[in-house]
Chain A
């Protein structure tokens, strides 16, 4: 559809093409302003970031630093005031609502903090939601692999209200994976979970990156959670101020302290 068409129109071998092969998503000079004049708030203030394919990236920063806004804008949930967000080679600002929606459906997965399942659908129906919205059947092998990884087989017929918080988030994670998206965005995915459920979920996400080559971008404020990522970018006042590779909880904590100081 719209998204696929654009891929073929880009010049193969050009800089854009190469960049698109390497990065699943990019943000160039992203600015997001709420309000006008003196009361204007710049949630993003010229942020530039790239997210490599097959990598697990965490976005950190204090409250109000713009990390959720950044996530929403790259994921096509919100629009930038200026600057360009790309998913693969596609400039999101050129898409109308319908194409943007189809792009999210086919190429992006989401895991949100909470309330992120449809209460009237069973666990299985929730997992398959992006496919059924598009009227598609799941790839049986892939679906089986996901179910085994998240360990939800016995709970498939249950409604979300009958599942624990950890199980609900694993359903959400399975849903994000089922359509084999180019990139998964997660916003504080373990924010409402206890430490055990949290470790399970993050372990599963790590597994998806390592074993399936999935690309994941996650917003978090917790150093322990961020330590699951390959790379962390730090945001402050709507700008990328720092980054860090192969973090551990301690190194993240140190970096945060130095930033905060």
Chain B
């Protein structure tokens, strides 16, 4: 049987090729994702291995679950550490996330992308990853000196000796670029902007006194890192801890890996969509191939092969195609990894270039996906093949395989679709956790169910889509339409693949525009403030970078403003969970934002150590007003907070303190937002003009009116939509290839017919037109189903999120129509090859009697 399988495959290269291409595409995105993440993984492992190899022990603030890199401890800890026996050398330094660098135009560098990291320059090379690049200046030594990483210097077009403006806690300040640094041998650390000052200046700029945020220690020869860590731990004061260099390194690598795993899960989800779409194509291809081989298979049956042997023959063929396709898919995965890296870097991620790494897991995962995909896709067609009766070999007309009755199909399809819808509903509307998994699985099952139902709609929809064709293109148009109706299952199956891609594209478009509409409503409703100021740098994905405290202070002097109110954010651990907590001035806050506080909650929070909690979070946590919760702050440790009230609008945050309580418990780095209102009789524009000198000196602060905030948010959504759509295009491409696949196989089947048409006078152009419009009908069919499902899914998700502030449901009509038109056009592309093939088909094949 194996021999027959192999020979059969070799004898039908086109068939083999078409199936393999679907597998290659499905597998390559999976392989590409793994290769991409493994490569970054390996690069960072190497990087951290190299650069921290000199550090045996790290001393840092002991702040529980918080990230400790910016939490200071007293400077005399260094003397304690130096006195420990076995310490060869030790050096302290400070780190800050609150610094912004301006480019030559006075605009902030980094923007919404990777963070800006501020460090003090370490004198001992073995204790730091930072190096001054060969011939690129010197280390910072005075209060005017700054060193930047090579990537930033290159991107901003700085040169040694240039003046660089840095916005620190006390406002903007000018420095001279004295050196260009690399991180190990890398010019960039994930695209971050790295700024380095000498220790004294760094402390001043970052707002530290005679303090360090870290001490790096090298052990004497013969003393192990573990031993030394233990010795140092014994003498450290409370609130300071020592860990081995390796521990710290692993923590950092783990942190990067976590960020990457988020990325790789995202990419794998999209790869999953491609694989899913690929499954439709592969199954359809196998099914058509079995149908076309009925005579051959029946002959085998007639001369004594069992149904089981036929089944294994089909499966073996599938496996061989699966292996070849998967191997090629892994190869093609390299190209995908390059493409992904290019995309990420285009978005400013600063992912280091270099050779791609192929780990066994990428190969194994890709091969497994490819094999399982092909195997599963071949099971049904194989079963179908095993049921072919030997008599079929004798019949003139190729015997039709028995079809399920329409009723059975309608029933089965409805049940499967219903199950999918049920899962989606559970995920969306019932609080059962892991809701995304439920929605994803539900959507996949619903797609399958609909693809079972789709053949029922194929004929009427083909008539509907194709109604103008006979009038426009005469017999070619009529035949195109009729041909799509001939094998409803084949048409539907091919269209279903495109349906999945289009449905997801439309879903994101609907979700995106609904989000935009909701944001629009929310912002105008929630922001009485005329202007909102925020930092343009981004140092932390969850927390806005702080604006220098000096800013709100300086705005206070303008008569054009009636209110200046600031809001701060920070992390706190409550009942074991890290939460983002906000703070405001209770006296002014309600003039600039709407919290919908219940009773006098806002006034009540003015009392020290009190907190107000959003209504939904209060319910979620099972707390009540009047309860006391223990909050752990990085700076002050455990503090008992009394819940003094609640509020409805949780959009700004779910926990708020007064700014006074905040200042008492946090190391104040600045404000996350500053809201202002223009004074009576002063237009927003006039107020903006009046304060613009102050805003400009800070450089990294942007002022936004309400509509600008809306635009900004919309811009972010559009960017995300573009990325998702880009990743989904791959699945759409596979689906379009599926149309090519089906048509190519179909025209083989119709050789006689096409030959006859040619014989009685159809010119090649008419043949091409016939095939092309058939493809367009199939594509439009799939796209219409997709648009319908996408809109419904979007509606369900928006409804489910109604509690989270999604008030609006919007269908972006223009985009949806564009998607339909493009999908229809993709049919034209899909048909290029089969149409050419059909138009060049040998007429004699059609009419020869064999």
Using CB atoms and an 8 Å cutoff, list the residues of chain A in contact with chain B.
Answer: 68, 72, 77-78, 97-98, 101-102, 104-106, 110, 112-121, 125, 129-130, 132-135, 175, 187-188, 191
Contacts and interface: CB of A to CB of B under 8 A. Distances in A.
Interface string B751-765: 011001111111110
20 contacts: A77-B843, A78-B843, A78-B844, A97-B764, A104-B760, A105-B761, A106-B761, A110-B759, A112-B759, A112-B847, A115-B753, A118-B479, A119-B753, A125-B478, A129-B757, A129-B760, A130-B761, A132-B475, A175-B760, A191-B849
A187 B846 CA distance: 13
B485 interface: yes
B451 interface: no
B460 interface: no
Contacts of A191: 849
A129 B847 CA distance: 17
Contacts of B760: 104-105, 110, 129-130, 133, 175
A101 B396 CA distance: 29
A133 B766 CA distance: 8
Most chain B beta-carbon neighbours within 10 Å: one of A119, A120, A121, A188: A120
Interface in B460-496: 474-475, 478-479, 482-483, 485-486
Interface string B685-717: 000000000000000000000000000000000
Interface of B: 396, 474-475, 478-479, 482-483, 485-486, 752-753, 756-764, 766, 843-844, 847-849
Contacts of B485: 120
Given A101-B758, A130-B761, A120 B844 contact: no
A93 B848 CA distance: 22
Q: Chain B at the A interface: mostly helix, strand, loop or mixed?
A: helix
A73 B478 CA distance: 31
B482 A132 contact: no
Contact of B844 (A77, A104, A118, A119): A77
Nearest to B751: A115
A119 B847 CA distance: 15
A77 B847 contact: yes
Contacts of B848: 68
A146 B725 CA distance: 58
Contacts of B758: 101
B229 to A, nearest CB: 81
Nearest to B476: A133
B761 A104 contact: yes
A116 B847 contact: yes
Contacts of B753: 115, 118-119
Nearest to B486: A120
A110 B849 CA distance: 14
B845 to A, nearest CB: 11
Contact of B761 (A68, A78, A102, A116): A102
A30 to B, nearest CB: 16
B759 A77 contact: yes
Nearest to A107: B761
A53 to B, nearest CB: 21
A188 B849 contact: yes
Contacts of B759: 77, 104, 110, 112
A132 B475 CA distance: 6
Nearest to B473: A135
Given A77-B847, A98-B764, A115-B756, 10 more contacts: A115-B753, A116-B847, A118-B753, A119-B753, A120-B486, A121-B482, A129-B760, A132-B478, A134-B761, A135-B474
Contacts of A104: 759-761
